[in-house]
Structure 1
């Protein structure tokens, strides 16, 4: 089976996210890294691309050059990943979708709800995939949680509690550090800092697992470091469209927390608890029973979990493998389209443009509610109201 051709925009030398994407895309031998425009400095981007093994004529100087070069080729790329600064996501994603390419965009998909709705409409009109990299939903046991909820193991879901809290921006002395400062600058980050950066991962995971979307929310946002214009801590209460209640805490000043992405789901018949820093264990408490530890890779898990587990039980799987599961989903979707068949339902779990626009609507709702001292605010994008 020939590999699919993959291209990347952004994620250049020194990038935090670029290596995770390259590892994820290449892990299962499904994609061949074929083209890239990796740096905002054309010469450096071309040179780095060639050091990574790209042919000279497919190591491009910028995304426009790459678009022009790829769309006329018989061996054009099948999928492009957009891993550039946030404010450029909309323009690049839109251009590639309209040119007929499938796209995986880093989050946030856009900077505004209106842009997000436009991307959804373009993806639907062109029939192209527009996926959004909520990569933590690729973890095997997160997918098993979703399967357990869907098959009714927990009964009706009453409450979901999500956290994404770390302490890596807790030093007030970092106020002038450019790697930190931009995140809290409305001119560069938009209307939200911590919720837009981390909170939307926790919200997406909650929705992904319980199969419900946020309908309205009430937010308490604060800048614990007073020089910051945007929030570094937020507590958000949610009501989901299937009746579940949500509690979400996100923070960048929680000293002692490293990554801090956790999810707990409580239903009529049982509860689940999972933490991204210990991703191989899922804790299940059935009503009237005792806490059970579900291990990644053990026998008898769901098809969704089995499909996304690569190494034997007891060995750790981490973030690049979760990303690889998103890429494996996309490879299956693209191959199914090429072959004129239905895709494997256990792979039909990649985050979509609809998830991207819902996240952006929640970002603006949190900002609005925070300014209004927690007033309940519609969390849905207009197109889904």
Structure 2
């Protein structure tokens, strides 16, 4: 596989997500950071890009300069990561897709369902890839959960319990902290805060491991800190198209909880449990049997888990490695297209624009349901209602 040129928009010096992407993209040597528009301040962004080793003529002041500059190059980037504020995702992603670039967009993919529908249509028209960074689906044992469900180990899935609860926004004194306040500002994040920020990761995992999509939902939102316009805690019940039900709780005011992402799947033959803070272990309990701890890196796991396992058994697996599996998937699919071959089927697990669209539809549905006292609402995008 030839090395691919990669570009990044956003994720500049001091950002939370930028380093994770750069570590993840570079882990396997598939991608070379060739271009960037890394900061809203052009001078600062150019300086940091050059500090990272990007050539001066590919250290751009903004994304429009980058789009124009890369479009005219024979060695143009093969993939661009969009890691800018939520409200800019749609415009940037659409522009790069329309000009023939593959895109990995941070979640949420857009601010509205209509924008998400347009991105999906743009992908179809352009023939390019648009992936969305639901990066936790890259964990090896999450992929093994999905494989176990798909091969029938659990029988029919009845119930999925998903959580993403932390307590880092629980102090009312921090309500005006700029690093926190933007997460509850509708102009910057859209109509939902905690569910759109964290809960949607939990819902994506529930869909991913169960192999079923959200059909309808009922939501209850609260703002535990009164000054917040948007919710900081949510409970959402979801009915899936394969008959299973999701019980989802997400919170930013759960004092004592840290990252707090986990998923449990209960089927007619057994149950599975996984937590992101302990990613190496997957707990499997067959009906009438004892709980078994499945270890990442152990023999006799699925091909999906084997491909996603990066370090030897017993060593800690971290979030950048999960993100790296998304980048490895994209490298395989992009390279296969350039080389005129069929990609490895196991690499087709990356989250797509359709996943981003389903997430935006679920967010809108949850907002409508919460404002309607928990009324059940259709969680499907309009284009997927049939």
The TM-score bracket by the shorter chain reads over 0.9
Name the SS of the counterpart of 2:175 in structure 1. Answer: helix
Q: Which residue of 1 aligns with 2:80?
A: 80
Q: Summarize deviations over 1:275-313 as a string: whole Å, max 9, x none.
A: 000000000001111000000000011000000111100
How do residues 230-309 of structure 1 correspond to structure 2 at under 5 angstroms? 230-309=230-309
CA apart distance, 1:190: 1.4
Give yes or no for the alignment of 1:104 onto 2:116.
no
Q: Which residue of 1 aligns with 2:217?
A: 217
Name the SS of the counterpart of 2:253 in structure 1. Answer: coil
Distance 1:138 1:335 in 2: 19
Q: Which residue of 2 aligns with 1:91?
A: 91
Distance 2:187 2:305 in 1: 41
Distance 1:312 1:283 in 2: 19
Distance 1:187 1:315 in 2: 42
Q: Which residue of 1 aligns with 2:181?
A: 181
**Which 4+ stretches in 1 moved above 6 angstroms?**
none
Give yes or no for the alignment of 1:376 onto 2:376.
yes
Distance 1:157 1:85 in 2: 37
Distance 2:329 2:176 in 1: 41
Name the SS of the counterpart of 1:81 in structure 2. Answer: strand
Q: Which residue of 2 aligns with 1:142?
A: 142
CA apart distance, 1:188: 2.2
Q: Which residue of 1 aligns with 2:122?
A: 122
Q: Which residue of 2 aligns with 1:70?
A: 70
Distance 1:282 1:154 in 2: 14
Distance 1:214 1:124 in 2: 22
Count of aligned residue pairs for this structure pair? 385
Give the alignment's TM-score, normalised by structure 1. Answer: 0.99
Name the SS of the counterpart of 1:348 in structure 2. Answer: helix
CA apart distance, 1:354: 0.2
Q: Which residue of 2 aligns with 1:51?
A: 51
Q: Summarize deviations over 1:229-257 as a string: whole Å, max 9, x none.
A: 10000000010000001100000000010
Distance 2:86 2:41 in 1: 17
Q: Which residue of 2 aligns with 1:367?
A: 367
Q: Which runs of 5+ in 2 are unaligned?
A: none
Q: Which residue of 1 aligns with 2:190?
A: 190
CA apart distance, 1:2: 2.5
CA apart distance, 1:35: 0.4
Distance 1:225 1:344 in 2: 48
Distance 2:72 2:141 in 1: 41
CA apart distance, 1:67: 0.4
Give the alignment's TM-score, normalised by structure 2. Answer: 0.99
Q: Which residue of 2 aligns with 1:204?
A: 204
Q: Summarize deviations over 1:125-158 as a string: whole Å, max 9, x none.
A: 1110000000000000000000000000000000
Could you tell me whether the CA contact under 8 Å between 2:85 and 2:188 is conserved in 1? no
CA apart distance, 1:183: 1.2
Could you tell me whether the CA contact under 8 Å between 2:2 and 2:335 is conserved in 1? no
CA apart distance, 1:369: 0.5
Name the SS of the counterpart of 2:54 in structure 1. Answer: coil
Distance 2:378 2:196 in 1: 17
CA apart distance, 1:341: 1.5
Name the SS of the counterpart of 2:349 in structure 1. Answer: coil
